[in-house]
Amino acid sequence: MLQRTVEGIVVRSEGKKLELRVITDKIVNIFVTDKEEKRRDTIAIEKKKYDIPDFNVEESKDKVLVLTKDLKVEIDKKTFFITFKDKDGDVINEDYGEGVKLGDSEVRCYKKLREDHFYGFGEKAGYLDKKGEKFEMWNTDEFMTHNQTTKLLYESYPFFIGMNKKHTYGIFLDNSFRSFFNMGEESEEYYYFGAYGGQMNYYFIYGNDIKEVVENYTYLTGRIELPPLWALGNQQSRYSYTPQEKVLEVAKTFREKDIPCDVIYLDIDYMEGYRVFTWNKDTFKNYKEMLKNLKSMGFKVVTIVDPGVKRDYEYFVYREGIENDYFVKDKYGITYVGKVWPGEACFPDFLQDKVRKWWGEKIANFVRDGIDGIWNDMNEPAVFETPTKTMPEDNIHILDGEKISHREAHNVYANYMALATKEGLLKERTNERPFILTRAAFAGIQRYAAMWTGDNRSLYEHLLMMMPMLMNVGLSGQPFAGADVGGFEGDCSEELFIRWIEAAVFTPFLRVHSAIGTKDQEPWSFGKRAEDIARKFIKIRYELLPYIYDLFYEASKKGYPVMRPLVFEYQEDENTHKIYDEFMLGQNLLIAPVYLPSKDRREVYLPSGIWYDYFTGERYEGGNYYLVEAPIDTIPVFVKEGAIIVKQKPLSYVEEDRIEEKVVEIYRGNRGKYVHYEDDGKTLDYKKGVYNLFEIEFEYFDGEIDIKFDKVHFGYEDGAKKYRFVLKNFDEVKKVKINGEEVEEYEIVVK
């Protein structure tokens, strides 16, 4: 039986129901069930009203055809076998065998394997291309050394991108139960995905290329809001900086040694017996004065806040939680108790509105003394002394007034905690951008928090692993991500630290972090050579902050990753499809880190076009492999022809000085185009139009360069007043025009 709805169709056959919703011309939602139930969206889907496009429905004896401007979706009315075709009728993706299989304990969907490559899947170890591999998604506090055989890590993104020579698409399985993906590991004929519980509810996301698939996927799951600019600066952490005198010593040393740094983190030892929202009375007895001193030096402070609340009736957070019934229950309805850092602890049920409001109030009160951001750790949620490393799967949560098991809540627990934290920060500082860092996550986390990749090791293998992992996280909708520089566990060597900091300054999130009992990991801890090189590259990052901030603006509008695999920009070049040890910072900079010891050169592939060495200006023909020199104080960085890069003077910290002048570097090419964004970097006023948007273009012909600098939007009066143009790698320039006028000095004053 076929039923037409406002959003799509409903087909019923032999006790099963298929619901198809047209979200856009290129996004279709498929929900298949054998129960009398409604589709349940997870927190991953951003709640908004879709502008449903026009679509047509055609019915024959055996099939139903749903047609949008870009897709033809063919459904067998009896078997629910689905074929997705492009507007020309060519198959993009189709079911295999029995298609959707529904069972009591799991749901799964088989697809014919037509793809050459698979990308995405969020935080997974291994290489960039995931074809031929299998995974599960179940947030896990995995402390053992991560490698390609590590199947479970801290975050779950049940989303992937499939690509072959003709088509590119994405599939997002909107199911928060433990999910699984077999991408051709079992068979060369098919792949499948599913979950151990929940619904078969997935979104088919078509795009002309990977860029459009990511843009369409983040239309569903939301995009990052602009972060505070200081969060893009250098950040220093350790488990743990204690007592408060040590914190101040580290801060002062950064300033004395002229190494830029914006943030210092406080790990669990700042607390009283690991009780969240408290301060240790002995080691941080004058914490308010410490926070003031740090602020006077230009430092922001981010404190760790775990979900586990110590079981102690004298402790106000526990007492309030018990008295108001805020904690997760076991299957018998008794408050669940598990062991974490404070010993026996209870866990807030963040899925409940009232619990998030309560936690948000705790956050608001806690940060009032001068804390600038919150670091959510142990939020898988991790539980000690259990074989599963988490709470029992039959524990009970309340979501929208209904009881659900921890099997369903587990993977989204961190997102709800991040939401509570964000709401708390906004409650206290209504017009200030919140900063939250999370270890665990589910799809859609980009709306609430930045992420880091958890407890890595001081190994060259983990420096390498950082690249494909962060690139796939970016392709999965989260542009604000990084790894612990130098490795968290183990003693980092001088050379490894140098090579890691050289690479990490070009990643979205830059933080050095190390574990208790390991060697110090501040830039000066490895001797003068490492200190000088770290200073040099951290200053390069601060010079590039306008360019990096522009990439975050682009991410907020289109969902594009800040750190990108080469295939994202050069999909037509098959040589880029499997490259995992180089990456793009935006569309203009190509980074090729050295990730092996005792190496002073490495092979680099440059895609088609002309490329210039960022440091020497040497010219390279693209479409070729090169053996590039990379002595210890250098990392291979290349700029593509026609690139425009906006820079500023390096500061000790973001708010040290007002930026009156910016430099616009124009790299030789026939033409180039760039959009530069500017606002105060702190408040939410940009949402009210208080920002500047400039479009910069140039054309170069026969020794003459014509530059256009257009104000697309001008609502922020305190931006840079002067833009100075620097022409890079041009052999001969006879004449320069800016906005149609010939100039001797290559600059423009903004009024």
Active site residues: 377, 380, 455
CA 370 to chain centre: 27
Q: What is the per-residue DSSP string for 322-333?
A: HHTT-B-B-TTS
Tokens of 472: 């796939």
Contact 169, 92 (CB under 8 A): yes
Read off the tokens for 462: 């983990």
C-alpha distances out from residue 329 to 102, 352, 624, Å: 29, 13, 60
Chain centre to alpha carbon of residue 566 = 17
Sheet with strand 263-266: strands edge to edge? 481-482, 450-452, 436-438, 373-376, 300-305, 263-266, 235-236, 511-512, 484-485
The whole-angstrom separation of Cα 542 and Cα 229 is 11
* Cβ neighbours around 23 below 10 Å, total: 21
Burial class (CB in 10 A: 0-12, 13-18, 19+), 218: buried
Transcribe 516-560 into DSSP letters: TTSPP-SGGGG-HHHHHHHHHHHHHHHHTHHHHHHHHHHHHHH--
Q: Pick from 52, 10, 49: which is nearest to 32 by CA?
A: 10
Q: Which of 232, 114, 90, 160 is nearest to 653 (CA)?
A: 232
Interhelix angle 545-558/528-543, nearest 10 degrees: 50
Structure tokens at 378: 């142990």
Is the Cα torsion angle 674, 636, 594, 574 positive or negative in sign? positive
Backbone torsions φ then ψ of 518, nearest 5 degrees: -100, 170
Full DSSP string of 186-254: S-SSEEEEEESSS-EEEEEEEESSHHHHHHHHHHHH--PPPPPGGGGS-EE--TT--SHHHHHHHHHHH
Is 543 in contact with 647 (CB distance < 8 Å)?
yes
The SS3 call for residue 21 is: strand
- The residues near 706 (Cβ < 8 Å, ≥ 6 apart) are 698, 699, 700, 737, 740
- The strand pairing partners of 112, in sequence order, are 190
Asked if 610 and 640 count as a contact pair (C-beta separation under 8 A), the reply is: yes
Task: Report which DSSP code applies to 745.
Answer: S
Peptide bond into 227 cis (omega under 30): no
